[in-house]
Amino acid sequence: MKRLTMLLSPLMLAAALSGLATTAPPAQAQAPGARAYAPERLWEMPVADQRRVIGLEYTEQSSGGIIPDDQMRFYLDQVKFSRWTFSQVKNDIGQSLAGGGSNPNPGGASIRCESRDSRQVTCNTPWQRRSVLTRQLSDTRCVQGQNWSSTPGTVWVSGGCRAEFASAQGDAGGAGTELQCESTDGRYKQCGTNLYGTPRLVRQLSDTACRYNFTFGMRNGAVWVDKGCRGIFRVEDNSDNAAYSVTCNSTDGKYKTCAWDHTRGTPVLLQTLSDRRCTQGYSWGYNRRAALWVNFGCRARFGVR
- Residue 219: name the closest of 299, 291, 118 by CA: 291
pLDDT value of residue 27: 39
**DSSP assignment of 185-233, as one string?**
GG--EEE-SS--S-EEEEEE-SSS---BTTTEEEETTEEEE-TT-EEEE
pLDDT value of residue 107: 43
244-267 average pLDDT score = 81
Q: Name the more confident of 95 and 1.
A: 95
| 152 pLDDT more than 70 | no
| 19 pLDDT more than 60 | no
Question: What does the mean pLDDT of the chain come to?
Answer: 75
CB of 86 closer than 8 Å to CB of 45: no
Could you tell me where the DSSP H helices lie in the chain? 2-23, 47-61, 69-82, 86-98
pLDDT digits (tens, 9 = 90+) for 34-51: 565 668 888 888 998 999
Residue 296 banded pLDDT, cuts 50, 70, 90:
very high
| 224 pLDDT more than 70 | yes
Q: Nearest 5°: CA angle at 144, between 71 and 204?
A: 150
For the chain, give every domain's residue range: 42-98, 111-167, 176-236, 241-303
- Poorest-pLDDT segment among 8-12, 52-56, 196-200: 8-12
The crossing angle, in degrees rounded to 10, of helices 69-82 and 47-61 is 130
